[in-house]
Amino acid sequence: MTKLLGIDDAGRGPVLGPMILAGIIINQKDEAI
């Protein structure tokens, strides 16, 4: 079973301001959802 991992970030980083991270792991067969 193959899994896909997606990660995204937004912000200026911890030195210059707030940082927001998000991630998700799904089964490859569910990719079309």
Give the CA distances from residue 30 to residues 2, 14, 15, 27, in Å, rounded to whole numbers and listed in that order: 10, 34, 37, 5
Q: Map tokens 């067969």 to a residue.
A: 29
Taking only the tens place, the pLDDT of each residue in 6-30 is: 999 888 766 777 888 899 988 887 7
Instruction: Look at residue 7 in the predicted model and tell me its pLDDT.
Output: 92
Per-residue burial over 2-25, b if 16 or more Cβ lie within 10 Å, else e, is: eeeeeeeeeeeeeeeeeeeeeeee
Instruction: Look at residue 17 in the predicted model and tell me its pLDDT.
Output: 76
User: The whole model's pTM is what?
Assistant: 0.49
